[in-house]
Structures are given as structure tokens and as C-alpha cells.
Structure 1
């Protein structure tokens, strides 16, 4: 598991098994208790570790919950299905399925709501979840350029970064709004319609 937490203090090496148990326990507690009632003591009890073990790894509840949610998003993979449209369809369907899982839905909505009052938490969400998942956009663009479906990436680094940011915002924003805000399914029919608009624009035939 890739760590998103600060380096631990000198002492015994971190246990990957303990990390995994703590993050899983955090997600379980979020589903059952919600953000306001979740405590580090409850997480420690569920994970079978001492409370001090959590504090050696995370500064507090905010950091712990973000990392617990971020671990789920690290499961996303961009499939190679032969075309840009098919690749996007594959990863968007994965994303929609992930958001349908109670532990992801509860965790993501909790940290986003809390981040409206906490700038540091918002920055951690951006670094641990948003920026990390832009890897999917970079991979997809590179693969599509190799196939000749998209032009090569701009040599202007700022312009290239803006394109990646905008692509991520459009795709992730549409899926989150569809599933979590509107409460509607992002099924194959919706995903294909969305991709048609994404790739061809609003003038695309229906």
C-alpha cells in the first residue's frame, strides 16, 4: 500500500497489516456512525490496535479519514479496451461502481462536507485523492496519442497541466453529480451518452 501519511517517528517499522486494518476499520465506522460520531478510539478498537498506534501514523481524524477514502480510489485502473471512448467508458463505470459502495460514498461525502470549513483538509483531499487520480487522465491521453486518436501533448507545461485538470474536473464532476448529488445511476447508457458529448461536444448527434 502506498503511504500518504507523514513519516512515522523513529521506532519499530510500520506494519502494513496494521495500516490496512486501521483504514478498513475507519471506513466501517464511517458507514455505521457517520463523521460526527466517529472517534479514533472506536477505530482503534475495531482495528485491534492501540489508540497510540493511530497517533503515530495520523495527526487526527481528518487525515485518517482522507487516507481511508483515498485507498479506495487507488483501486481505479484505466483499462485498455482498444479506443479512447471505450477506455473512458471502462474507468467511468469503475468510478460509478466505487461511488455506489457505502464506505466510499459515506467517506467521500463526509470529508468534502467537512472541508468546506477546513482549508487544510481541502488541501489534503486535493493531494491525496484528486491529484493522485489525475494519473488516469495522463495515462489515457498518452495511450490515445499513441493510437493517433489525440494530438501529442502540448510542450507548454502549463497548458498541458490545465488540460489534464479540466479533463479530470469534467469527468469526475459529472459522475459525482450524477450519482451523489442527483442520486441517479451512471449506467452504461448514461456513460456512453456522456462520452459522446465529452469527445464530440454539444453539437454531437444524439
Structure 2
């Protein structure tokens, strides 16, 4: 006599944290929920609202509730995307730097001057200044936040230096890299030199970055490369 079978119940997702959980697939793994996909427009609105609130309220006054209200989203939506204020602010600032691109203008000099001009224009924006200054100030007191700043903002932008070097090597302006470790160290130094100089002039000294200043800075930067093709 066959063993009795358990009663068949209709497929219905369980409820977890007030939200329906994703159903399991036949192989026992959890299937992706068929709800609405994450909205890029909502993400942009949240990141924009974060920078606006940070500029107005400062780090100490900024709350996830303020951001949700400005972005016109529920706080649950916000927390599903960013579990903490630190993560949210870092991503809001990092998204600004995603605008920077390394052009290929035919010479390393032209490429450097173009990137410096882009960076200076970005730093001149009030929302960028407020967000960066608040984030860096808080990072001096929070080692984990400082690490996130490095991982999400600083390190990704080193791609610009690597792209510029690679293009110059293809054009024959720079010799190929012979030592990978040394090349990585050079990328770090070049990035720190450019980013540090431009940030200090704009954020600390409050001086403008003109075309003449950019030209003279590039002259100094390229000075150690005597084999560079003019």
C-alpha cells in the first residue's frame, strides 16, 4: 500500500520582514522575484537628494529619512539599496566622479590637460565641494569609512591614469611597462599628484584653475619624461 502523500498546497511565497519572499525553483534554489526591477531613475533621485541634503544639513544633520523625503521614496526602498548612511553618501559622491573620462586626443599632454579641466570643473560645483569636504572630514574619524572612500571613490578613478598611460604607450610617447609592480606604484603616484594638487588648489586654496595654470602644471608633470614625444 503506497505511503500517504502530504496535502498539496497552492504555490504561495512566504512572508519575511513584511515582504513576500521569492519562491523556490524545482531544484530547491530561490528563484528571483518577479517584482519590479530596481529603478535607475530612483537610484539617481536618491543619490542627488543625498548630495543636496548633505550640502544643506551637513554630515551630522543628514538622516536616511531626509534623503527618502527629498527623493520621494519610502525609507524601506532606501534601506534595501543602502543599509547605512555611510554607504549611501560614499556612493552619492562616487557617482559624481563617474562623469570623468580619459579622452584620446592624440597626445599625452592634451589628454592630461583635458582630465585636469574636467576634474577642476567637477570640484567647482558646490554640491561636490560640500559632499567631499563632509565625507573626508568624517573619514578622518572613521577608519571603515576611510576604507570605503578609498575603495569606491579613489581607487576606481585610477583607471584614468592607466588609460592615459596605455594610450601614450600605443602612440609611442611612453615606453612599455617592464615591471608590473613599479608600474602600479607609478600609477598611484601620478594619480595622487594630479588629484592632490587639483583638490588642494580648488578646495583648500580656493584658487581658480585656468587654462594657463593647467598648461604649466602639465609641464611640471611631464618633466620627468625626457623621452616624451612633443
TM-score by length of 2: 0.80
Q: What's 1:5 paired with?
A: none
**Aligned ranges for residues 157-176 of structure 1 at < 5 Å?**
157-176=180-199
**Aligned ranges for residues 98-117 of structure 1 at < 5 Å?**
98-117=122-141
Q: What's 2:52 paired with?
A: 28
Matched, 1:199 2:219: no
The higher relative CO (CA closer than 8 Å, separation ≥ 6) is in 1
- Secondary structure of the corresponding residue to residue 35 of structure 1: helix
Higher CA-based Rg = 2
- Secondary structure of the corresponding residue to residue 160 of structure 1: helix
Matched, 1:61 2:82: no
**Aligned ranges for residues 81-120 of structure 1 at < 5 Å?**
81-120=105-144
Paired residues, number: 193
Q: What's 2:205 paired with?
A: 182
- Return 5+ residue gaps in structure 2 as ranges: 1-20, 23-32, 225-230
By how many angstroms is 1:62 displaced? 1.2
Q: Per-residue CA shift, 1:15-71, capped at 9, x if unaligned?
A: 212111100110111122222211110100010101111111112111111100100
Separation in 2, partners of 1:98, 1:35: 21
Separation in 2, partners of 1:127, 1:34: 23
Q: What's 2:147 paired with?
A: 123
- Secondary structure of the corresponding residue to residue 42 of structure 1: helix
**Corresponding residue to 2:176 among 152, 155, 158:** 152
